[in-house]
């Protein structure tokens, strides 16, 4: 019997273009949803090198290295169905200076808007801005309102969603998604659901903004465990574990509550893994260990953040080390990503700045692809669509 072709394989693969592409995790998720990525841009050579190291160079894809301000709209594909923009979050995140969209890095969003404007009648029917949830409150909400207004000016109605990678992976990583549609689906009420929590409701109540709320299924419930499954297997004698002196300094920096928690886990049976961040409390650098089997949000060293450490506890043993690139990849849903040739910090920066793969996949499967195909309709038809 011949191979049976799935419905997804049989349908045409809509063309997508990605701005601020980083190392390509959005591309992986979009490809899994059936999109074909034709063009990508980023300004960091290290990220470009990882991107091409994983995907390779092909005739049907172009990677443009450089500032988005130097991109010419004439060089963009004119038949793209989707434009994805993971605009820099440094100026918008709680860890950054919160300069907003006028900031030197996050202000690059306006170059993306200008390119979409220059495409005129060739602009994609769907555009997506991905950013940190801090965009919803930056400058009292003015930055998000300005972004929505810019999309409205281009002809797009806008939906705004919040989605945490923890619904798919053992990592707490909430992100905001601004979805613009030239042909929006029917608007359905969603007052404080999991995708549009209370802090986003003002968007849909602002009469100056053109918005819609697509009928979508609820995402999976947040994960409560799974970190241990993502930890890279290595022996207790591996040199990446910190030496006795450094481990003792780690333990000495813990608060009494933290120290008690670590001590109880240390003397328990079996092996448990936790993650830890180094923070400054009262001018003093201290370590804080998460109480659950979930990773904190993976970050880069930019914007006042710190790298994440892995803590191994149990059977009267305490060991600590920095998290590895493989663990970063797994916690971003990119297990199998090509890491050969990438320097350690290069990989950590690349994954720390990225969007989690299964989050993009969920949006692609449940929102972006159905939106393009006209399959987002009334709520009563949702059940049949997702079955």
pLDDT of amino acid 102: 58
CA R_g for the chain: 22
CA atoms in the 13 A half-sphere facing the CB of 277 = 16
| pLDDT score at 379 | 59
Contact 308, 298 (CB under 8 A): yes
Chosen domain end from 323, 338, 367? 323
Domain boundary among 323, 339, 360: 323
What pLDDT score does 106 carry?
A: 55
* 336 domain residue, yes or no: no
Confirm whether 339 is domain-assigned.
Answer: no
Q: What is the predicted pLDDT for the residue at 378?
A: 63
pLDDT tens digits, 279-328: 888 888 889 999 999 999 998 755 445 689 999 999 999 999 999 999 99
177, 259: one domain: no
- In this structure, are 211 and 268 located in the same domain? no
Q: Are residues 41 and 134 in the same domain?
A: yes
Can you give the residue range of the structural domain that contains 245? 233-323
Catalytic residue among 21, 37, 89, 357, which? 89
Indicate whether 228 belongs to any domain.
no
| Residue 121 three-state SS | helix
The answer as to whether 298 is a domain residue is: yes
Do 104 and 52 lie in a common domain? yes
253: region left, alpha or beta (phi > 0 left; psi from -120 to 50 alpha)? alpha
Q: What is the pLDDT of residues 95-126, one digit of tens each?
A: 455 455 555 555 688 889 999 999 999 999 99
Strands 82-85 and 15-19: parallel
Same-domain status, 176 and 256: no
Q: Which of 306, 323, 340 is the last residue of a domain?
A: 323
Tell whether 183 and 306 lie within a shared domain. no
Beta bridge partners of 295: 171
CA distance 232 to 237: 14
Q: How many domains does the chain have?
A: 2
In a domain, 1, yes or no: no
Residues 207 and 266 in one domain: no
| Burial (CB count within 10 angstroms: exposed 0-12, middle 13-18, buried 19+), residue 129 | buried
Q: What's the CATH number where 173 sits?
A: 3.40.50.150
Tell me the CA distances in angstroms from 262 to 35, 88, 256, 314, one per residue in order. 45, 36, 10, 9
139 and 286: one domain? no
Question: Does residue 340 sit within a domain?
Answer: no
Instruction: Give domain status of residue 75, yes or no.
Output: yes
d(CA 40, CA 77): 11
- Tokens standing for residue 103: 């900031």
Same domain assignment for residues 283 and 304: yes
Co-location of 217 and 237 in the same domain: no
Q: Is 30 helix (H, G, I), strand (E, B) or coil?
A: helix
Residues of the chain falling short of pLDDT 70: 1-10, 89-107, 301-306, 378-387
State whether 68 and 89 are in the same domain: yes
Q: Is 230 a catalytic residue?
A: no
Q: Is 151 in the same domain as 203?
A: yes
Handedness of CA 128, 132, 137, 138 (dihedral sign): negative
- The reply to whether 164 falls in a domain is yes
């Amino acid at each position: 019997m011949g191979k049976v072709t799935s419905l997804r394989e049989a349908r045409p693969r809509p063309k997508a273009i990605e701005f601020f592409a980083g190392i390509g995790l959005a591309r992986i998720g979009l490809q899994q949803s059936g999109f074909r990525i034709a063009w990508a841009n980023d300004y960091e050579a290290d990220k470009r090198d990882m991107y091409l190291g994983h995907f390779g160079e092909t005739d049907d894809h172009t990677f443009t290295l450089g500032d988005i301000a130097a991109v010419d709209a004439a060089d963009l594909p004119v038949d793209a169905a989707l434009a994805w923009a993971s605009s820099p979050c440094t100026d918008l995140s709680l860890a950054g200076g919160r300069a907003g969209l006028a900031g030197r890095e996050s202000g690059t969003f306006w170059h993306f808007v200008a390119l979409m404007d220059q495409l005129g009648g060739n602009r994609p029917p769907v555009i997506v801005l991905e950013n940190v949830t801090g965009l919803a409150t930056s400058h009292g909400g003015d930055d998000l309102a300005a972004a929505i207004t810019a999309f409205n000016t281009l002809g797009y109605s806008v939906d705004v969603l919040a989605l945490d990678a923890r619904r798919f992976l053992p990592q707490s990583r909430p992100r905001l998604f601004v979805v613009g549609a030239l042909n929006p689906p029917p608007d359905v009420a969603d007052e404080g659901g999991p995708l549009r929590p209370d802090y986003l409701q003002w968007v849909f109540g602002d009469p100056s903004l053109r918005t819609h709320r697509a009928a979508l299924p609820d995402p999976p419930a947040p994960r409560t465990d799974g970190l241990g499954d993502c930890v890279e297997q290595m022996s207790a004698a591996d040199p990446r574990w910190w030496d006795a002196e450094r481990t003792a300094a780690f333990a000495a920096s813990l608060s009494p509550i933290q120290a008690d928690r670590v001590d109880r886990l240390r003397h328990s049976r079996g092996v448990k893994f936790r993650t830890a961040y180094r923070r400054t409390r009262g001018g003093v650098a201290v370590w804080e260990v998460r109480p659950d089997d979930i990773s904190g949000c993976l970050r880069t060293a930019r914007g006042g953040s710190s790298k994440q450490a892995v803590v191994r506890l149990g059977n009267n043993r305490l060991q600590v080390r920095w998290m590895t690139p493989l663990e970063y990849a797994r916690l971003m849903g990119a297990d199998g990503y090509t890491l050969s040739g990438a320097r350690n910090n290069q990989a950590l920066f690349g994954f720390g700045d990225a969007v989690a793969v299964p989050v993009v996949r969920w949006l692609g499967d449940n929102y972006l692809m159905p939106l393009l195909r006209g399959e987002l309709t009334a709520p009563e038809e949702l059940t049949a669509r997702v079955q």
